[in-house]
Chains A and B, each alone.
Chain A
Amino acid sequence: MNDGLITTVLIALLGGALRVSTPFMFVALGECLTEKSGRVNLGLEGTLVLGAVVAYATSYHSGSPWLGVLAAGGAGAVLGAIHGFVCKLPRVNDIAIGIAMMLFGTGIAFFFGKAYIQPTAPRLEPLSLGAWTGDAKLATALQINPLLIVGVIIAFCMWWAFANTRWGLLVRMSGDSAPAARAMGVSVDLVRFLATAGGGFLAGIGGAFLSLYYPGSWNQGLSSGQGLMAVALVIFARWNPLRCVAAALLFGATGAIGPALQSVGVTQGYYFFNAAPYILTLLIMVGSAGSKQAAREAPGELSITK
């Protein structure tokens, strides 16, 4: 009996990890790219929310959810580009601009999103990878969103590119030693501009997942700070795209603790368990503050590590 309960909970956690980790993953990968280039973009929460509404609206009007995903990425890239552009002006602090961009992003998302709370847009279809198990619960848990797979592929590409491509090395160089990059004739501002825009593109796609897959509708409380948590997650993942994926899955799983326990009848502390990802974020921040390993792997040009 007990075993059955544990299995149920574990399956629910697995399902949760696979279901809700995708936006964490995309935002974290985007932030990872931006931070590797030496800049922090705290505005990705706003990017996530704007991406969600743009994806929903595009999907509603065009009938194609994938077009919505691309549009969300485009909107994110624009927000990232604004951040990247403003930050290269003299004496501009990227943290302050990030917070401003976060408020700006959520603001315009709410403004344009009013009209899309009611209508229903076509959503992304899941891939059923669990049919072979013959277990209904497991099959449900293994219903995987195609964006998750795309995210994992992007993570591997980024990991490979940071070590094996000219662009990857230029990004790392700009993030670790801007004077060295400049002495080499590299335009650090351009690299960071592009990295921030690229990071915004990924975060926007994360937003598309929220409105087009899970929870799968547009409302103002959609993100509830996931974009901010993803920034913390990058520190936890120590600026490694593969570890970003693992960390995103871990966050997804903790987010599913509450519903998983509820599904087996543990209703006490439901809201407490729902707060698990936030508590985890706090613990990670405290834990990594003293971590010398994390300090060593941090890009040297980040304003938070300087």
Chain B
Amino acid sequence: MGAPKAMMAEPLIEPAAVRALGLDASRMTKTFGSLIALDDVSFTVEPGSFHALLGENGAGKSTLVKCIMGFYRAESGALRLNGEAVEIRNPRDARALGLGMVYQHFTLVPSLTGAENLVISRADAPAIIDWKKEKQRLADFLDRMPFRAPLDVPVASLAAGEKQKLEILKLLYLDQRLLILDEPTSVLTPNEADEILGLLRGMTDRKEISVVMITHKFREVTAFADHLTVLRRGRMVGGGRVEDMSTGDMARLMIGDTQITTRAQRTEQSTGATVLELVALMAKGEEDKDVLNCVNLKVRAGEIVGVAGVSGNGQSQLMEVLSGQRPLSDGRILIRNQPFEPTREAFFKLKIFGLPEEPLKNATVPRMSVAENMAFRSFDKPPNASFGWWLSAAPMRARARELIAAYRVKTQSPDTAIGDLSGGNVQRAVLARELSGDVDVLIVANPCFGLDFASVADIRSQIMEQRNRGAAVLLISEDLDEILELADRVAVMSEGAITYVAPIGETDRATIGMHMAGHA
């Protein structure tokens, strides 16, 4: 515990050989009502280390760093920076002490240019900005940095990787010497992620900065971090040097004793005829830009085709087109060689079901009850309705009870508003609705985003089961591991088009990554 003695007397601003900050948070406790978000957690970051903070969703990682950054005040616990006790009451205090954070969502202002974003982020931004002088200073600053980003165009027009670099540059520009990164690579290609993390690792090796990275990607931990701390349900359950631990150890620490339902096994089967065929799909987004640029893909019965890609390359739009939320500007969707229009009638007749991303927003009405939401596909059909318009609540509720039990949806009653359920349970409720009938085509997008291990295993096994039963499954996912686990064939989507398709046995992570980045 504690920073080396030599660091103690170092003044915060003066450049020294070791500029990185050491952080020591001890015995932090934070409760929200009856929920104990952090339970006596101690956490030490040595100066110049690259520290990974691992844990499932809800394990308390974000709460811990938000307490450190001054967004929350811990009920008890103490913070030391380079051995000196400090009090951080708000984010401004944290910033003044040299602590900076990169959030999952970008905090750059989209309509401002990179230069404007950097200058205005300074606490001492001048009242009247002399752009000539500031531009010169920024150029000098960039010369000292290991990487750069365009500064003269509005941030809105930058690619995700450039924005992420600019976020990090902003912290370095503000002379922050302990950077906390909250899942920094979720919007990047594997190559971009490796590049940025590698550069940061270089800076920590030179003792210029310390890094704390919240992540759940073991690969990034083993490749870049030197220390790690694992949280589970608000407690610190383990940690140490990365080289002393295997990914198996990390997974055990993260999950604990939670029982994981056994995965549905992939049955070996010969795939059937082509069921879902996308032919030259085109769609326009804002400003008449082509968001789908000639998407061609076939999905056969009894196989899962996984669509990989970096967030924002048209996957959401593809899902919207398939579920009827966005019009096609050209191309057609064929189901068993018949043209398909995404209408309620056609979904019902052709047995097409789906789980869109963010189901609370895209597949439910949050304020309606679980039972009502579960009846969206069938409320106007017997036994829920007579004559097609006279609805009866009792059969809907009875059916909802069955589904709630079968899919282990945790809800107080079928009459609870679906918006009050946790993310995993909303996902299960929608899956229950979509999978309860006879499924011919299943289209899912990011089905496990933000869920805990148990729900993830559960939902993936449901998807696999549909495949085994002979459904054609299109899985659009930004989680490459999910695709590698589930898919029979992998397709890569880049800039609105499918740029690569290969059977899962004939490709690997690196090849897919290359295509995701558009360099192949």
Interface residues of A (CB under 8 A from B): 164-167, 169-170, 172-173, 176-177, 179-181, 183-185, 292, 295-296, 299-300
- Contact residues of B: prevailing secondary structure: loop
Evaluate contact between B287 and A165: CB separation under 8 angstroms. Answer: no
A176-B111, A183-B107, A296-B287 given. 11 additional CB < 8 A pairs? A164-B131, A166-B120, A166-B125, A169-B120, A173-B120, A176-B112, A177-B110, A179-B105, A180-B107, A184-B121, A185-B90
Evaluate contact between A170 and B120: CB separation under 8 angstroms. Answer: yes
B111 contacts across to A, CB distance below 8 A: 172, 176, 299-300
Q: How far is the CB of B1 from chain A (nearest CB, A)?
A: 31
| A191 vs B103: C-alpha distance when bound (angstroms) | 23
B9 contacts across to A, CB distance below 8 A: none
Evaluate contact between B110 and A166: CB separation under 8 angstroms. Answer: no
Evaluate contact between B107 and A185: CB separation under 8 angstroms. Answer: no
- B268 in contact (CB, < 8 A): no
Evaluate contact between A172 and B91: CB separation under 8 angstroms. Answer: no
| A161 vs B91: C-alpha distance when bound (angstroms) | 27
List the B residue with the shortest CB-CB distance to A169: B120
Q: How far is the CB of B26 from chain A (nearest CB, A)?
A: 26
A172 contacts across to B, CB distance below 8 A: 109, 111-112
Q: How far is the CB of A306 from chain B (nearest CB, A)?
A: 14
- B505 in contact (CB, < 8 A): no
Pick the contact of A185 from B91, B103, B119, B131 — CB < 8 Å? B91
Evaluate contact between A167 and B105: CB separation under 8 angstroms. Answer: no
Evaluate contact between A183 and B103: CB separation under 8 angstroms. Answer: yes
B90 contacts across to A, CB distance below 8 A: 185
Q: How far is the CB of A79 from chain B (nearest CB, A)?
A: 28
Known pairs A183-B103, A185-B91, A300-B110; A166 contacts B287 (CB<8 A): no
Evaluate contact between A173 and B107: CB separation under 8 angstroms. Answer: no
| A300 vs B120: C-alpha distance when bound (angstroms) | 18
Q: How far is the CB of B139 from chain A (nearest CB, A)?
A: 19
B120 contacts across to A, CB distance below 8 A: 166, 169-170, 173, 184
| A25 vs B129: C-alpha distance when bound (angstroms) | 27
- B282 in contact (CB, < 8 A): no
List the A residue with the shortest CB-CB distance to B69: A183
| A109 vs B174: C-alpha distance when bound (angstroms) | 50
Q: How far is the CB of A39 from chain B (nearest CB, A)?
A: 16
| A167 vs B128: C-alpha distance when bound (angstroms) | 8
Q: How far is the CB of B232 from chain A (nearest CB, A)?
A: 28
Known pairs A165-B128, A166-B125, A295-B286; A185 contacts B92 (CB<8 A): yes
User: Contact mask B89-102 → A, CB, 8 Å, 1/0?
Assistant: 01110010000000
List the B residue with the shortest CB-CB distance to A170: B120
List the B residue with the shortest CB-CB distance to A293: B287
| A165 vs B103: C-alpha distance when bound (angstroms) | 27
- B288 in contact (CB, < 8 A): yes
Known pairs A164-B128, A166-B126, A166-B129; A173 contacts B109 (CB<8 A): yes
List the B residue with the shortest CB-CB distance to A186: B120
List the A residue with the shortest CB-CB distance to B121: A184
Evaluate contact between A177 and B126: CB separation under 8 angstroms. Answer: no
B119 contacts across to A, CB distance below 8 A: 169
B92 contacts across to A, CB distance below 8 A: 185
A167 contacts across to B, CB distance below 8 A: 127
| A173 vs B120: C-alpha distance when bound (angstroms) | 9
Chain B CB within 10 Å, residue with most, of A177, A179, A184: A184
Q: Contact size class for B?
A: 20 to 34
Q: How far is the CB of A252 from chain B (nearest CB, A)?
A: 30
Q: How far is the CB of B170 from chain A (nearest CB, A)?
A: 10
Evaluate contact between B287 and A292: CB separation under 8 angstroms. Answer: yes
Evaluate contact between A169 and B286: CB separation under 8 angstroms. Answer: no
| A165 vs B128: C-alpha distance when bound (angstroms) | 4
List the B residue with the shortest CB-CB distance to A161: B128
Pick the contact of A292 from B106, B116, B288 — CB < 8 Å? B288
Evaluate contact between B116 and A169: CB separation under 8 angstroms. Answer: yes
A170 contacts across to B, CB distance below 8 A: 120
- B108 in contact (CB, < 8 A): yes
| A183 vs B69: C-alpha distance when bound (angstroms) | 11
| A167 vs B131: C-alpha distance when bound (angstroms) | 15
In the complex, 22 of the A-B residue pairs with CB atoms within 8 angstroms, ordered by the A residue number, are: A164-B128, A164-B129, A165-B129, A166-B125, A166-B126, A167-B127, A169-B116, A173-B109, A173-B112, A176-B111, A177-B107, A177-B108, A180-B106, A180-B107, A183-B103, A184-B121, A185-B91, A185-B92, A292-B286, A296-B286, A300-B110, A300-B111
| A299 vs B110: C-alpha distance when bound (angstroms) | 10
| A177 vs B167: C-alpha distance when bound (angstroms) | 15
List the A residue with the shortest CB-CB distance to B92: A185
| A179 vs B288: C-alpha distance when bound (angstroms) | 28
B286 contacts across to A, CB distance below 8 A: 292, 295-296
Known pairs A164-B129, A169-B116, A184-B121; A176 contacts B288 (CB<8 A): no
Q: How far is the CB of A301 from chain B (nearest CB, A)?
A: 10
Evaluate contact between A176 and B110: CB separation under 8 angstroms. Answer: yes
Q: How far is the CB of B172 from chain A (nearest CB, A)?
A: 16
Evaluate contact between B125 and A169: CB separation under 8 angstroms. Answer: yes
Evaluate contact between A185 and B125: CB separation under 8 angstroms. Answer: no
List the A residue with the shortest CB-CB distance to B156: A296
| A176 vs B107: C-alpha distance when bound (angstroms) | 11
A173 contacts across to B, CB distance below 8 A: 109, 112, 120
B105 contacts across to A, CB distance below 8 A: 179
| A152 vs B80: C-alpha distance when bound (angstroms) | 55
A295 contacts across to B, CB distance below 8 A: 286
Chain B CB within 10 Å, residue with most, of A181, A183, A296: A183
Which A-B residue pairs are the 7 nearest by beta carbons? Answer: A169-B120, A185-B92, A180-B107, A183-B107, A176-B111, A177-B109, A166-B125
A185 contacts across to B, CB distance below 8 A: 90-92, 95, 123
A177 contacts across to B, CB distance below 8 A: 107-110
| A275 vs B485: C-alpha distance when bound (angstroms) | 67
B108 contacts across to A, CB distance below 8 A: 177, 180
| A299 vs B109: C-alpha distance when bound (angstroms) | 11
Evaluate contact between B288 and A169: CB separation under 8 angstroms. Answer: no
B107 contacts across to A, CB distance below 8 A: 177, 179-180, 183-184
Pick the contact of A183 from B91, B112, B129, B131 — CB < 8 Å? B91
List the A residue with the shortest CB-CB distance to B289: A292
Interface residues of B in 278-308 (CB under 8 A from A): 286-288
Evaluate contact between A181 and B109: CB separation under 8 angstroms. Answer: yes
List the A residue with the shortest CB-CB distance to B128: A165
Pick the contact of B109 from A164, A165, A180, A292 — CB < 8 Å? A180
Q: How far is the CB of B22 from chain A (nearest CB, A)?
A: 24
